[in-house]
């Protein structure tokens, strides 16, 4: 995979500047065809003229060229900066294609870095997370992948499993010699520690995904509980109509806001009650469908004014991740244990509500190591299960079965980091990357 590829490295649209990137072998003829003075290109940017395949001038810009393997892709790499008009960018890309390059596939620049040994898969996924992150917390998480903290933790577990596997293999190969340095108890304690740690890291996936991709939170409850007023306070603007007449909210209103370290999409749903109005009934049915796909429910009830719908709503949402809120503290007091009190009028309790939402989603402490990749979560669970199987097998079935389990765990670690670079893994991982990265 060294054929020359080209793609814009900046988002499509009008901007002051745009960047087009090329990498691969045989870049010199392509650059000579599209750039004036390409033979003088160095690692520092130089002014160049840019022309089409038939020699028509396209733009003036800057370009630099670095030779492999001392580049991000491990191959020759050139970046050309032009004025940020999409017509200019498209003309430059077309000129490169006419000169012998091909269009880069999604994530192909990063993929070449992985295949060349310049980047492991954990760092590659972090590159994608940096681009997709919707919140400062998501960027912090991505940086733990890019700066190698997660990779170093995985390497520690790899070394621990490898040492245990070597000990078990020594017992099998030389059963009559006292070559082992660890007792069964020591091996079991070490393997159990790895199993627990991998499982714990896998369990952070929901929180990690929330930080990177954001969350969807639905406000549900009976009519006139103050959902729309609370929605407007959380969003910071009047997005939902507020009126004393029941059934004012008939459709589902969505708006984005920042809740602590999270970007949240809030959904204000229709108040629940029996109705003969077909439009209101359709709004309730739509709310039920959308609520099923949310990360968290905020169940809003009216403080000091219980309704017959309250216990029904509480029972129906009991199995879901939720925060129960009694709104209207400016008019009535008294909140049951385990619930929060708020006032959309005065703002009382809103900080506590945001804290409760963040805590329920598991992202209260963003300093911990988290994963935001389903692939990483699944691999970590498999590694944990393999180490646990070895722990169970060693005193019962013996070192051979335990060693087989550890071999599977080490294979999963290699797939996780990219030491075992399987084509289908790379295809699935880089398919979601943007072109040019």
Q: Rg of the chain over CA atoms, in angstroms?
A: 29
**Are both 306 and 253 inside the same structural domain?**
yes
Residue 160: predicted pLDDT = 92
Measure Cα distances from 88 to 17, 387, 425 in Å. Answer: 10, 55, 36
Residues with Cβ within 8 Å of residue 351, at least 6 apart in sequence: none
- Mapped onto helix, strand or coil, the DSSP state of residue 48 is strand
Q: Is residue 435 part of a domain?
A: no
- 73 contacts 9 by C-beta, under 8 angstroms: no
**Are both 350 and 418 inside the same structural domain?**
no
Measure Cα distances from 370 to 138, 150, 367 in Å. Answer: 10, 8, 9
| pLDDT above 50: residue 244 | no
| pLDDT above 90: residue 428 | no
Domain that holds residue 381: 123-204+371-430
Q: How many CA atoms lie within 13 A of 7 on its CB side?
A: 19
- 108 contacts 420 by C-beta, under 8 angstroms: no
- Looking up residue 375, the CATH number of its domain turns out to be 1.20.120.430
**Are both 180 and 231 inside the same structural domain?**
no
- 128 contacts 437 by C-beta, under 8 angstroms: yes
Boundary (domain end) residue, out of 318, 337, 360: 360
Whether the bond into 299 is cis, omega within 30 of 0: no
- 300 contacts 219 by C-beta, under 8 angstroms: yes
Residue 248: predicted pLDDT = 46
- Local structure of residue 222 (DSSP, 8 states): B
Q: Is residue 176 part of a domain?
A: yes
Residue-wise pLDDT for 288-304, tens only, equals 666 677 889 999 998 87
Q: Which of 70, 76, 84 is nearest to 3 (CA)?
A: 76
- Ramachandran sector of residue 265 (left: φ over 0; alpha: ψ -120 to 50; beta: rest): beta
| pLDDT above 60: residue 138 | yes
Q: What is the mean pLDDT of the chain?
A: 84
- 184 contacts 395 by C-beta, under 8 angstroms: yes
- Looking up residue 218, the CATH number of its domain turns out to be 3.40.50.300
**Are both 229 and 350 inside the same structural domain?**
yes
Lowest mean pLDDT: which of 195-199, 314-318, 364-368, 372-376? 364-368
Residue 303: predicted pLDDT = 85
Q: How many CB atoms lie within 10 A of CB 238?
A: 12
User: Stretch 403-413: mean pLDDT, rounded?
Assistant: 90
Residues with Cβ within 8 Å of residue 248, at least 6 apart in sequence: 228, 241, 242
* The total number of structural domains that make up the chain: 3
Q: How many CB atoms lie within 10 A of CB 378?
A: 15
**Are both 354 and 375 inside the same structural domain?**
no
Q: Is residue 110 part of a domain?
A: no
Residue 362: predicted pLDDT = 82
pTM assigned to the model: 0.77
d(CA 123, CA 432): 15
**Are both 60 and 127 inside the same structural domain?**
no
- What is 141-173 written as a DSSP string? HHHHHHTTHHHHHHHHHHHHHHHHHHHHHHHHH
Boundary (domain end) residue, out of 311, 340, 360: 360
Q: Is residue 393 part of a domain?
A: yes
Which has more pLDDT, 33 or 225?
A: 33
- 335 contacts 303 by C-beta, under 8 angstroms: yes
**Are both 24 and 41 inside the same structural domain?**
yes
**Are both 275 and 414 inside the same structural domain?**
no
Which has more pLDDT, 70 or 23?
A: 23
d(CA 31, CA 52): 11
Residue 181: predicted pLDDT = 59
Strands 102-103 and 215-220: unpaired
395: its two tokens: 């005193």
User: Stretch 225-253: mean pLDDT, rounded?
Assistant: 64
**Are both 198 and 218 inside the same structural domain?**
no
- 18 contacts 81 by C-beta, under 8 angstroms: yes
d(CA 228, CA 378): 39
Boundary (domain end) residue, out of 360, 382, 412: 360
Name the helix (H) or strand (E) containing 112: helix 108-115
**Are both 317 and 238 inside the same structural domain?**
yes
**Are both 275 and 161 inside the same structural domain?**
no
């Amino acid at each position: 995979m060294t054929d020359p590829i080209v793609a814009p490295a900046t988002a499509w649209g009008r901007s002051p500047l745009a960047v087009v990137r090329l990498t691969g072998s045989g870049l010199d003829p392509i650059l000579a065809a599209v750039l004036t003075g390409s033979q003088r290109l160095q690692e520092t940017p130089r002014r160049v003229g840019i022309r089409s395949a038939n020699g028509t001038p396209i733009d003036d810009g800057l370009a630099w060229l670095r030779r492999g393997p001392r580049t991000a892709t491990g191959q020759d790499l050139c970046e050309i900066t032009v004025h940020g008009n999409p017509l200019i960018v498209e003309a430059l890309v077309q000129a490169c294609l006419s000169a012998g390059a091909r269009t880069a596939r999604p994530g192909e620049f990063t993929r070449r870095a992985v295949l060349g040994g310049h980047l492991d898969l954990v760092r590659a996924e972090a590159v994608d997370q940096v681009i997709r992150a919707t919140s400062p917390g998501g960027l912090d998480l991505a940086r733990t992948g890019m700066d190698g903290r997660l990779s170093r933790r995985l390497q520690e577990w790899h070394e621990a499993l490898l040492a245990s596997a070597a000990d078990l293999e020594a017992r099998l190969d030389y059963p009559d010699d006292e070559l082992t340095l660890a007792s069964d108890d020591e091996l079991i304690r070490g393997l159990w520690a790895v199993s627990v740690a991998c499982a714990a890291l896998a369990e952070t996936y929901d929180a990690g995904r929330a930080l990177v991709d954001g969350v969807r939170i639905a406000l549900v409850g009976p009519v006139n509980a103050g959902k729309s007023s609370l929605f407007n306070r959380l969003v910071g603007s009047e997005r939902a109509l507020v009126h004393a007449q029941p059934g004012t909210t008939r459709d589902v209103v969505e708006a984005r806001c920042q809740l602590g370290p999270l970007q949240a999409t809030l959904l204000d749903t229709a108040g629940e009650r029996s109705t003969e109005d077909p439009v209101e009934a359709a709004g309730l049915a739509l709310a039920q469908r959308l609520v099923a796909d949310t990360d968290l429910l905020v169940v809003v009830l009216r403080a000091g004014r219980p309704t017959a719908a309250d216990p029904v709503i509480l029972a129906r949402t009991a199995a879901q991740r939720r925060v129960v809120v009694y709104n209207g503290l400016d008019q009535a007091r008294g909140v049951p244990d385990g619930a929060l009190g708020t006032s959309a009028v005065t703002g009382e309790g809103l900080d506590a509500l945001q804290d409760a939402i963040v805590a329920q989603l598991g992202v209260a402490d963003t300093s911990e190591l988290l994963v935001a990749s389903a692939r990483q979560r699944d691999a970590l669970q498999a590694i944990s299960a393999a180490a646990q199987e070895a722990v169970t097998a060693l005193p019962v079935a013996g070192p051979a079965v335990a060693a087989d389990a550890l071999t599977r765990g080490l294979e999963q670690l290699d797939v996780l980091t990219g030491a075992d670079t399987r084509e289908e893994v790379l295809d699935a991982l880089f398919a979601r990357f943007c072109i040019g990265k």
